[in-house]
Amino acid sequence: MKRFKILSLIAAAVLFTFSACEKIDPPYKEHGEIEFTGQNILLEDYTGHTCVNCPTAAVIAHELKELYGEHLIIIAVHAGSFAMPHPGDYENDYRTETGNIWNTFFGIQQYPSGLVNRIQNSSGNYPIAYDKWGTMVADELKKIPQAEINISNSFASGVLTTTVTTKFLAEMESTYSLYIGITEDSLISPQKNVNENIGDTPQIDDYVFMHMLRGSVNGEWGEDIFGDTIEVDKEYKKTYQYTITGDPDNSHVVAFVYDNETKSVVQVVEKPVK
């Protein structure tokens, strides 16, 4: 039986063989290295364990992560009808209250779908088809960062203490909130699949779920800790405690700042819990 392993070799093969996937065309320097400005990108993958095309989207997300490293942060949001638990192979419930709220707010109706920095398209919609993720991520990476975020974590007796420091690098015209969430890697359970280049069809028995949203540290939408007037180069610091219910060795803190009006992400970072 094939085992689904998150490997760049498999991901690359899928990108070349699966006709619906686009060629990733990131911004390169002349000597072939990717030019990073310091802007990081949030890719939200809305998915579910009975969604047959979701493994293909996960491979594309992983290949982008391999390409951009720490500059691309992925949150896999299990929500909608394909994420519902069912007796038997699909009894696990990977949904979260936060994911359900986001799924409704951003109008996710097809799975898989994604959000790239929560940027709206020309029609005012947020969801982006997975074959467009590469182009949009590359475009967002070219932007000059307007903020930087640093995370400091400590973990003891099942409790995470995380301190998040935000500094704005430019004058900002809107109001902003800080969201902090927890993701977890390497959860294994069945996943429906239609792409034989990835694994068994119609089901991968030991699928490896990555970047799964597991909970929110400071609420579904975070909190506004900055006030109405943003001070450039001022450090905004906040410390939180959160009980980790999953595997702390495979868990990450994800923090991002976003525009309260448009929901667009200004900056995002992640750091291991331990």
Q: Three-state secondary structure along 1-18? A: CCCCCCCHHHHHHHHHHC
Q: What is the mean pLDDT of residues 229-248?
A: 97
Closest among 10, 68, 62 to 40, alpha carbons compared = 68
Tokens 């301190």 -> residue: 163
**pTM of the entire structure?**
0.89
pLDDT for residue 98 is more than 90:
yes
Q: What sign for the dihedral angle of Cα 236, 228, 104, 57?
A: negative
Q: Which residue blocks in the chain are alpha helix, DSSP H? A: 8-17, 54-68, 97-105, 133-141
Pull the structure tokens for residue 256. 């991002």
Task: Give the pLDDT of residue 62.
Answer: 97
Alpha-carbon gap, residue 235 to 267, rounded angstroms: 15
Residue boundaries of the structural domains of the chain = 8-272
Q: What is the mean pLDDT of the chain?
A: 90
pLDDT, one tens digit per residue, over 1-48 is 333 333 333 343 333 333 333 334 444 333 346 788 999 999 999 999
Phi, psi dihedrals of residue 222, rounded to the nearest 5° = 70, -150
pLDDT, one tens digit per residue, over 136-192 is 999 999 999 999 999 999 999 999 999 999 999 999 999 999 999 999 999 999 999
Closest among 78, 80, 113, 112 to 96, alpha carbons compared = 78
Task: Give the pLDDT of residue 14.
Answer: 37
Alpha-carbon gap, residue 253 to 220, rounded angstroms: 14
Within 8 A by CB and 6+ apart from 91, the residues are 85
- 176 sits in which H/E element: strand 176-184
Whether domain 8-272 has CATH 1.50.10.10: the reply is no
In the chain, what percentage of residues exceed pLDDT 70? Answer: 88
In the chain, what percentage of residues exceed pLDDT 90? Answer: 85
Q: What is the mean pLDDT of residues 44-64?
A: 98
